[in-house]
Amino acid sequence: MAKTDLEIAQECVMEPIGKVGAKAGIPEEALEPYGRYKAKLSFDFVKSLENEKEGKLILVTAINPTKAGEGKSTTTVGLGDGLNRLGKKTMMALREPSLGPVFGLKGGAAGGGYAQVVPMEDINLHFTGDMHAITTCNNLVSAIVDNHIYQGNALNIDPERITFKRCLDMNDRELRRVDIGRGAKVNGIKREDGFNITVASEIMAALCLAEDLMDLKERFASMLVAYTMDGKPVYVRDLGIEGAMAMVMKDAILPNLVQTLEHNPVLIHGGPFANIAHGCNSVIATKTALRLADYVVTEAGFGADLGAEKFLDIKCRLAGLHPDAVVIVATIRALKQHGGVAFEDLKEENVDAMRKGCENLAKHIDTIQQFGVPYIVAINEFATDTEAEVDALKAWCAENGHPLSLSQVWAKGGEGALDLGQKVVELCEQENHYAPLYDLDDSIEEKIEKIARKVYGAKGVEFTEEAQEQIRLFTAEGWDKLPICMAKTQMSLSDDGKVMGRPTDFTITVRELRPSLGAGFIVALTGNVLTMPGLPKHPSALDMDIDENGRIVGLF
């Protein structure tokens, strides 16, 4: 029987984190250890790198995710290991997993097979506590807002217009909408609230876009929490708790160092949702890696329509990053699913369906081409792929002039990405015309329309009356010069999660806008985007256990 990811990870004899750090040029005294195999980089060390020359930045993205699986994290890790095998000084910059999905269905997020980051259990559980710090920071704001109203409401806050929600790092649908302050008057003011999952919080987004602790404090101060009875915005700075919030985040702002199964250095830091937020690891970690390594491989959540668009339109623009190459990951299984094959039938060869599914891939390639960044298609091989399918895919790429690499990182680790690695190195030397797809000076509507037309392939955008009213309000407040963070289903290029492949002749409906002023973007919500997931009928938690020697089973 094939080994599970957890079994493979547990077999790994990890190197002490000091040795991993040394490989990246990080001196022992710059590491704040968390156990023997995890460390935070010290505050002073991160600061000391500010003027270092930056290496090449490689983004790994994917087609729209399917149940079949694509392996974006796995490819990111495998590519990083592959580049190191090729003698290139390479680091990876990944997102921190959320505990919610770990207990639910998705499982861990540290790669798979022989392309994993370890210690896998710790990374998928509490890691170095960043997620918990964010939860605390977020819920401090809520407690202070409600307490302010309860203690006299000097700011004249309208309890029905509090925009800042509580959060928990848990898949808990029961908390999506709650009525709080019930019972006796001493239990506070009665009002509606809801919990986001922590990774969907604005605190997470702000952490991931901050340049340093003082910038983060300023972002906190700018966060909108409510409106007054006469409609004026109330910010965190009006409550005076940005200092306490920054204090709570003093360790969480520092990048976390871990290693791949092949002992190469990885920074894992920050993990905002790629629907409600921008879906990339922290700017601080990405820049730190770029200043330490010649090549940095990073990823963005979900498909290129969400993660890559936001990476290129939001993160790179705001942080002044210059992406050198994009890897677009797909699997033959997933392409077949986009081509109309049911999940149960994926084992059977189906060249036609695969070719049809390539339309989804083609749209994401088109998007990356519009951004002007050199790209390559990476097919993450599965044992069930047939020769005919592989040949047909090669032919499709050749016909359309798309560079391609077949990677075997799940089975072989870095060894399985030598070809991909070599080609990526070459891409990094190619001409590069990176530019965001819209101007910040465009109106809110124009920005959204450009994303919908250029990235989703939509024929237009409809704005609900509520959204139109919000656009007027936001523009009046001067918030319209911010980039747009689209909240859309990840399952489809359209805003209907059931539509696979490459839909055409559709419109996108924007039903609500939310100002994430601390993160520095306006969220545009399309369809019914959940910011608090639920658990499935058989949650993974039911299969997890630990024995008397501390050995874990059932964590995937």
Spot the catalytic one: 45, 127, 164, 302.
302
Residue 177 lies near its own copies (rule: CB under 8 A): yes
How many residues lie near its own copies (CB under 8 A)? 78
Contact by Cβ (8 Å): 299, 61:
yes
Q: Of 384 and 528, which has the nearer Cβ to its own copies? A: 528
Residue 95, H or E segment:
none
Site for its own copies in 348-387 (CB under 8 A): none
Residue 175 makes contact with its own copies by CB under 8 A: yes
Q: Quick check: is 72 catalytic?
A: yes
Instruction: Please confirm, yes or no, whether 302 is among the known catalytic residues.
Output: yes
Q: Which lies closer to its own copies via its Cβ, residue 177 or residue 394?
A: 177
Catalytic annotation on 3? Answer: no
Nearer to its own copies, 362 or 544 (CB): 544
Based on the shown chain and the rule CB under 8 A, indicate whether residue 248 belongs to the binding site for its own copies: yes
d(CA 312, CA 56): 15
**Which is catalytic among the residues 410, 463, 474, 479?**
410
Strands, sheet with 484-487, edge to edge from the N-terminal-most edge strand: 460-463, 507-516, 521-526, 484-487
Q: How far is CA 110 from the centre of its chain?
A: 13
The answer to whether 511 is a known catalytic residue is no
The residue from 274, 289, 353, 458 that is catalytic is 274
**Backbone phi, then psi, for 48, in 5-degree steps?**
-65, -15
Judged by CB under 8 A, the stretch of 246-254, 348-356, 453-461, 502-510 that binds its own copies is 246-254
Per CB under 8 A, 246 contacts its own copies: yes
Among positions 381-440, residues that touch its own copies (CB under 8 A) are none
Return the residue of 11, 156, 240, 472 that touches its own copies, per CB under 8 A: 240
| Catalytic choice (38, 40, 56, 72) | 72
Q: How far is the CB of 193 from its own copies (least distance, A)?
A: 8
**Angle 407-111-498 from CA coordinates, rounded to 5°:** 85
User: Measured from the CB atom, is 189 or 473 closer to its own copies?
Assistant: 189
For its own copies, which residue of 229, 395, 398, 542 counts as binding (CB under 8 A)? 542
Please name which of 380, 295, 366 lies closest in space to residue 334, comparing C-alpha atoms.
380
174 touches its own copies (CB under 8 A): yes
Going by C-alpha positions, the residue among 504, 503, 522 that lies closest to residue 513 is 522
Residue 386 annotated in active site: no
**CA 21 from centroid of its chain's CA atoms:** 24
Closest contact distance (angstroms) between CB of 337 and its own copies is: 25
Backbone angles phi, psi at 117, to 5 degrees: -105, 140
The contacts of residue 215 (CB under 8 Å, 6+ apart) are none
**Roughly what angle, to the nearest 10 degrees, separates helices 202-209 and 130-150?**
130
Nearer to its own copies by Cβ, of 340 and 534: the residue is: 534
Residue with tokens 């005076």: 240
50, 179, 348, 466: which one binds its own copies (CB under 8 A): 179
**CB of 265 within 8 A of CB of 30?**
no
Question: In whole angstroms, how far apart are CA 45 and each of 23, 71, 155, 255, 285?
Answer: 16, 33, 41, 11, 12
User: Is 74 designated active site?
Assistant: yes
CA distance 326 to 113: 23
Q: Scan residues 192-221 and list those touching its own copies (CB under 8 A).
A: 192-193, 212-214, 217
Positions 12 through 51 that interact with its own copies (CB under 8 A): 32-36, 40, 43
Active-site residue, 89 included? no
Return the H-helix or E-strand segment holding 64: none
215 touches 282 (CB < 8 A): no
Main-chain dihedrals φ then ψ at residue 525, nearest 5 degrees: -95, 125
Q: 95: how many CB neighbours lie within 10 A of its CB?
A: 28
Position among 229, 247, 395, 398 found at the interface with its own copies (CB under 8 A): 247
Single out the catalytic residue among 61, 74, 135, 531.
74
Alpha carbons 95 and 116: distance in angstroms, whole number: 13
User: In the complex, what is the shortest distance from the CB of residue 134 to its own copies, in angstroms, rounded to a whole number?
Assistant: 11
Closer to its own copies by Cβ: residue 34 or 311: 34
Positions in 44-103 near its own copies (CB under 8 A): 99, 103
Q: Which of 23, 85, 89, 106 is catalytic?
A: 106
* Chain residues 107-166 in contact with its own copies, contact rule CB under 8 A: 125-126, 129, 132-133, 135-136, 139-140, 142-144, 146-147, 150-152
Question: Is 95 part of the annotated catalytic residue set?
Answer: yes
* C-alpha 28 chain-centroid distance: 30
Active site positions, annotated:
72, 74, 95, 106, 274, 302, 382, 410
